Structure 1
Amino acid sequence: MKGVLETRELQSPALESNPLGDPARRRLTVYLPPGYGEGDRRFPVVYFLHAFGNSGGTWTNASGFAPTVPERMDALIESGAIPPAIGVFPDGWTSLGGSQWVNSDAIGRYRDYLAKDVVGFVDRTYRTLPKAASRAVVGHSSGGYGALVMGRYHPEVFSHLGAHAADSYFEYCYLPDLPKAAASLLKAGGVEPWHAEFRKRVRETKMRGDDFPVVNTLAMAAAYSPKKGEPLNVELPFDAQTGRIKLDVWNRWLVHDPVRFVPKFLDAFRKLKTVFLDCGTRDEFNIRWGTRMLAEDLKGAGVELVHEEFEDGHSGVSYRFERSLSVLVPKLARE
């Protein structure tokens, strides 16, 4: 790799005293492009948001065959396909598996952590161009969802956005998991005994295939329907005994669905200079359809949009970052 990877740590005021007791001191991986160490030149920045179940360290886990995302970014710069930029890989892991990059009473203030603490630390520490037009935020799955959250709330921080298979149209991407989660929780005797057994088992061995619908549902409930006093401070969108959907809680989830909030916040998305959306045609969580809905709304609102589909599923598609970087990085403002 021609560029350099650095590992830093930052203390996040936003995550201090978070409800899960997760660390407020977080590791931050930073990619510095070739030429960064020469002179006083400043660079635009791309922020990468990881998916649910991952952490900031996942970006540098080599598969043995495919390059990592930092290596892909480095190769694009070396080939001249994109101009040099800094890459930042923050850690949004929680003890429930992820944060959705939102502020939540059950998880903590991960939106503030990214938009204020991480961006502020990077601008203080590195030779960045500290303005929205010189920043992009990109992510996959829950990270793509987080990128859309940044577009909704923080167009003054990020002017360019890339969302790969972002969680959207919750009826398709989440609803199929709810009866599976209900069955496992009923068998375990509730949220707390299931979670205690799960935490013990994954420390000693590993996750089972039937764990994902449960932990994913708990994490999404923590993001979309937190409720103090409930087990893990979450309110589930179904009745624990019958599995019947609780419409009042489910509707709280739907408020956070991008296909609902993007049309309501089009003024914020119009402030963005570029939006890139994609999804595989065989996405196992049916996100293709939510992505199409978002593309239709954004295009109709006059947002500068690139929307693509490709023949693949949901996982193992980090090669698609080469495409989003090729679209976004050349549009980042420079000195």
Structure 2
Amino acid sequence: MRHQDTFSGFIDVSGDSGFEYCYLRDFPLSIDVLGKLGVKGFLKKFRSSNFHENQDLTVNDLLSMSAFYSPDPGEELRIKLPFDLSTGKVHDHVWGQLKEWTHCAMSSIISLVLKKIKIILQKGSHDEFSINTGINGISQIMKEKEIDHCSVHYDAGHFGIYYMYKDSV
């Protein structure tokens, strides 16, 4: 999106969106696990194992999103969590930083559209992270703003969707 002069369009295949639906629900589990192990302890355990249970993957995903969307040099491993581990209280400022990415992405899309590029939004109708809800919202906003785009639904979840890429050319 930063190189509009180079690319004639973009395809979003179940990209992060609608954070209220895909990440907020992972907070209680992450608070519980990280409250017991801490960030470093969890990552040490995660890295030392060849097998990861779903809860491990969920917590690792939340840490990854926090590291990317709300990095903080003053925090353990530079990761600012969107909640307090001891009380569970959501840090509104940090949670706002994460949610702001959805709005930033929308602003980028709108500016790209001014260049008359091709936009394709793809998602599985049964996405395990509810990303389809966020993509549907983006598509609706684009319709309201009369932004030409293609929104494709697949009868699938978030995984095993490699066949979606065939529609991406």
Settle same-fold status: TM greater than 0.5: yes
**186, 194, 205: which one pairs with 2:42?**
194
SS at match of 1:239: coil
**Cα pair distance change 1:237/1:304, threshold 3 Å:** same
Greater helix content: 2
Aligned to 2:28: 179
- List aligned pairs for 1:279-294, cutoff 5 A: 279-294=123-138
Aligned to 1:234: 79
Q: Is the 8 A contact 1:274 1:303 kept in 2?
A: no
**Cα pair distance change 1:194/1:262, threshold 3 Å:** closer
Structure whose CA Rg is larger: 1
The reply to whether residue 277 of structure 1 matches residue 121 of structure 2 is yes
- List aligned pairs for 1:1-335, cutoff 5 A: 150=1, 153-188=2-37, 190-201=38-49, 205-257=50-102, 260-265=103-108, 266-325=110-169
Amino acid at match of 2:29: K
Question: Take 2:160 and 2:116, find their aligned partners in 1: how far apart are those partners?
Answer: 28
Question: Take 1:253 and 1:298, find their aligned partners in 2: how far apart are those partners?
Answer: 21
Question: Take 1:270 and 1:172, find their aligned partners in 2: how far apart are those partners?
Answer: 29
**Cα pair distance change 1:295/1:194, threshold 3 Å:** same
Deviation, 1:303, is 3.1
Question: Take 1:272 and 1:192, find their aligned partners in 2: how far apart are those partners?
Answer: 46
Deviation, 1:171, is 0.2
Question: Take 2:9 and 2:33, find their aligned partners in 1: how far apart are those partners?
Answer: 41
Q: Is the 8 A contact 1:169 1:289 kept in 2?
A: yes
Amino acid at match of 1:211: D
The size of the alignment, in residue pairs, is: 168
Structure 2: gaps spanning 5 or more residues: none
Amino acid at match of 1:194: F
Amino acid at match of 1:193: G
Where does structure 1 differ by over 6 angstroms across 4 or more consecutive aligned residues?
Answer: none
**Alignment RMSD (CA, Å):** 1.6
**Cα pair distance change 1:220/1:262, threshold 3 Å:** closer
Greater RCO between the two (CA within 8 Å, min separation 6)? 2
Deviation, 1:272, is 4.5
Question: Take 2:95 and 2:83, find their aligned partners in 1: how far apart are those partners?
Answer: 8
Amino acid at match of 2:124: G
If the length of structure 2 is used for normalisation, what is the TM-score? 0.91
Q: Encode CA deviations 1:24-74: one digit per residue, 9 max, x unaligned.
A: xxxxxxxxxxxxxxxxxxxxxxxxxxxxxxxxxxxxxxxxxxxxxxxxxxx
